[in-house]
Structure 1
Amino acid sequence: MRELSEIEQMLIDIAKGNQQAFSELYDCTSAKLYGVCLRVLEDEATAQDVLQEAYIKIWHKAAQYQSNGLSPMTWLITIARNSAIDRRRSQASKPTESMEDYELESQQDGPEQCAHSSQTQRQLEDCLNTLEPDRADAVKGAYLEGLSYADLAEQFSVPLNTMRTWLRRSLLKLQGCMGQ
């Protein structure tokens, strides 16, 4: 990974229309941004498409980046993550068809299993509500959305070790609550 000041300079050059700087920026940041897209979308092909869309946005918005003491990688990651979230939301609103829609045998759970799953889900939601709101959001982000500890630490503006402690203590509290 290049130095942050080099990435800032690339963004300044990209804002001036420098295609070579754009190519260099892609080469040194695409792996990280692809990982962000993949973590949100959980599909390689869609993540690759969204990554390309993100770089188009970066090309067009490079002039909007201003060196304000924040990491240029944070700005780039935000664009990629928001693009991936937008795609995920648009996909969620469209019904999809699959072969499972046409199977003759029902593979749905029986009434007993549905009742048990529903009860467990309610219990988990109740237990999550016993946590402080930011701790509950961090647990959901880590274990339901697949965010890394580093991403969560950045999102909640806390040190990485603090985020690890939050999650460990929250899981212990949830484990105790679910065991009751």
Structure 2
Amino acid sequence: MPDRDTELRAQFEEYVAARRQALLRTAYLLTGQHADAEDLVQLALVKAMPHWAKIAHDPEPYVRKVLARESVSRWRGRRWREVTSDRLPEREQVGADQTDRAAVRTALLALAPRQRAVVVLRYFDDLTEVQTAQALGIAVGTVKSQSRDAMTRLRGLLEVDPVKVPTSGAAHGVGEGETP
């Protein structure tokens, strides 16, 4: 019969095998670099392992919290340093889809780290406002305001026209000067 440590190690290994790619995608969106994303996931898993007995029943919130917080902490420590790139500076021939992805990636990287974390957790990982707030250790109201500000900034960076909301009269088929 396997002992408790062996069982926990097996559960951890299963989790890593099942969730590694999803964690890497989230980390990539948080960092913008493949190598940094791999380092971030590795760090999150290293930090999760000692707590595995407590979090094994639902490790995802804990691991996401570590990813988001470490991403912000790493950015603060590196913001004045040179940033490495995994691409050569020459222009590549890219299709429209790749161009759109590159534009979104560039715009996402232009956001402040906390705004980027909120956008990634809320819209990419599809967390609720409460789950995002818990993952980042901030208030729900802060998630709402950071999300609003980030989306406004992204729209500006991507030159997306905001959705035009009709006036209440126009929405009901009432023209100017008419009363409902």
Q: Name the TM tier (shorter chain).
A: 0.3 to 0.5
Greater helix content: 1
Query: TM-score, normalising length from structure 2?
Result: 0.45
TM-score when normalising by structure 1? 0.45
